[in-house]
Each structure stands twice: as structure tokens, then as C-alpha cells.
Amino acid sequence: MTAPATQSESTPPHDPMNDLQDNRRILLVDDHRPIHDDFRSILNHAESATENLAQLESSFFGEAVLPSILLPKYELSSAFQGQEALNTVAAAVKEGKPFALGFIDVRMPPGWDGIETIERIWDLDAEMQFVICTAYADYTWEELFKRFGSTDRVVFLRKPFDHTEARQLACTLTSKWNYSILAKARRQELEAMVEARTRELTGTVAKLNEALNNVKTLSGFIPICAGCKKIRDDRGFWNRVEAYITQRTTARFTHGMCPDCAQKYFELTEADLKASQPPGS
């Protein structure tokens, strides 16, 4: 007889990345059109060259085709000037389809250079990652640090760049964007849960305080008449004991008569009192 599956066997652990809509949208920003063609050629391959070669060999020798090795598939858009890039990003954000990454040139005359373009884009979309592509030392790292501060959203890629390095940056930085958005969503979710729980606890505390205020207690010295046993309240009025206690506590009174008072007022004996009580009392 097969043993029943355990919880871990029947229900795989939840992977939060399954909740994430993978964003592989990349904006290419360069005033030189052939650069756009280069990037599209480098990043748009869905299969590796090794896999293509294996399929070619199998067609000649009749061998089984190996499973396809899929590489990340990107959605590539182009802009040729900084202002155009800004407008493209603004439209993408408005549509709810922001770019995860931008490959951007530094020199793009006659408009904004790449650094100013990044600054303007971050005013619209602070999460977007950037790879700065340049063949010149237009800016030192110190200058960039002064303008951008300590940030992990910008890396450099020197022209002419290695194809593998470009693919690696595209894969790594788009994944980084997706993980950062997931972390932000989880943080907002936790903050909302904490806020809701805080409101719930605040309401509970308020109810407890209200209940505590409704609990009436007696403490300290109580002025009582030595003769009639009336009690003087805070306003100076004398009240019967039961009235005074009822107003200040949750206690309620039921009246009876002790043997001494029964003998004094009604000449009843203790036996008479017991005989007059209902059975079981």
C-alpha cells in the first residue's frame, strides 16, 4: 500500500516569483541607427547558437533534436534623442507597461546627452535601470556619483561592447527590476497588514478602556453614620448604604433580616425565621 503523500509532497512551496509578471521591456536610446540594429541582433535571439547547430546536425544525421534552450525574450523599443526617450517612457508609464531597462548613449547631439536624459526619466520612473554605452570618457565616475549619488541602477558598457556582456547585462538588470518591484509590492502588502492590525488593536484598546471606565469600584475612607449607618457622598448628602453602593458599583441588593433584628422588631426566634424560609434556601 502506498503511503499517503505528505504536505510538502502534495503541495509545492509557494514561490513568490510566480506572482510576478516578467518585465523584459528594454528601451534603446542612441542617435546612431546602426547601434539599434546591433542591439536587436544581439538580444532578439530566442535560441542559443549551439542549439541551432545541434538542430542542423540532427537534420543531416537523423538524430533526435534536443529540447530547445530558450533565452530571455525582450521587447525592444527605440528612441534616437533624449526628448524622444523621455516621451516614450512617459507613454509606457501611462499605459502601465514601464521599461525595466534602458541602453543609452552618452553623446546624442544636438539634444540632451545620456546623463541628463537619465535624470529626466528618473523624475517619471525612478525604478528604471540603465546601461550607459559610450566610447569616450565623457564623465568620470566621481562626476556621475556627484550627480546620481550612491545608486545601483546605472552600469557602464564601453563601445565596442562584447555581445555576451550586453546579453548578460540585459538579463541581470531586467531580473533585478522584477525582483525590486516584487519586493516593493511585498513591502506595501506588509505595511497594509500592519496598518490594519494596528487599527484593530487600537479599537480593541479603546473598547477595553471604555469597559474599564464602566467598572465602578469603591476605595479609600467612606464616611458612615455611627447611628443610622447612612453614608455621606462627595456632595455632602447622606444616602442609605444600598443606594450609595448601587450607584458606585455593579453590586445589587436583595433584602432579608438577621436573627437579632427579627427578634427586636418582630419577636421572631431563629427557628421561626428558618421555618418561614422556602426549602433549599
**Region 202-218 average pLDDT:** 79
Per DSSP, what are the bridge partners of residue 130?
A: 102, 154
Q: Are residues 254 and 142 in the same domain?
A: no
Question: What pLDDT digit, counting tens, does each position of 22-49 carry?
Answer: 899 999 999 999 999 999 999 986 444 4
Q: Are residues 157 and 23 in the same domain?
A: yes
pLDDT value at position 258? 80
pLDDT value at position 25? 96
Q: Are residues 82 and 168 in the same domain?
A: yes
Is residue 19 over pLDDT 60?
no
pLDDT value at position 5? 46
Torsion angles phi and psi, residue 104, rounded to 5: -135, 135
Q: Are residues 106 and 41 in the same domain?
A: yes
**Is residue 107 within 8 Å of 113, Cβ to Cβ?**
yes
Q: Are residues 170 and 238 in the same domain?
A: no
Distance CA(83)–CA(108), nearest Å, equals 11
Structural domain boundaries enclosing 240: 231-276
Give domain status of residue 8, yes or no: no
Q: Are residues 29 and 150 in the same domain?
A: yes
**Region 257-272 average pLDDT:** 73
DSSP states of 187-220 as a string? Answer: HHHHHHHHHHHHHHHHHHHHHHHHHHHH-----S
Percent of the chain exceeding pLDDT 90 equals 41
Torsion angles phi and psi, residue 118, rounded to 5: -60, -45
Give domain status of residue 121, yes or no: yes
- Domain at 113, CATH number: 3.40.50.2300
Give domain status of residue 42, yes or no: yes
Please indicate whether residue 99 or residue 275 has the higher confidence score (pLDDT): 99
Please indicate whether residue 117 or residue 138 has the higher confidence score (pLDDT): 117
pLDDT value at position 14? 47
As for how many domains the chain has, the answer is 2
* Confidence (pTM): 0.59
Give domain status of residue 59, yes or no: yes
Q: Are residues 181 and 239 in the same domain?
A: no
Half-sphere exposure of residue 118: CA atoms within 13 angstroms, side-chain side: 25
In terms of C-beta density within 10 A (0-12 exposed, 13-18 middle, 19 or more buried), how is residue 85 classed?
A: buried
Give domain status of residue 215, yes or no: no
Half-sphere exposure of residue 10: CA atoms within 13 angstroms, side-chain side: 5
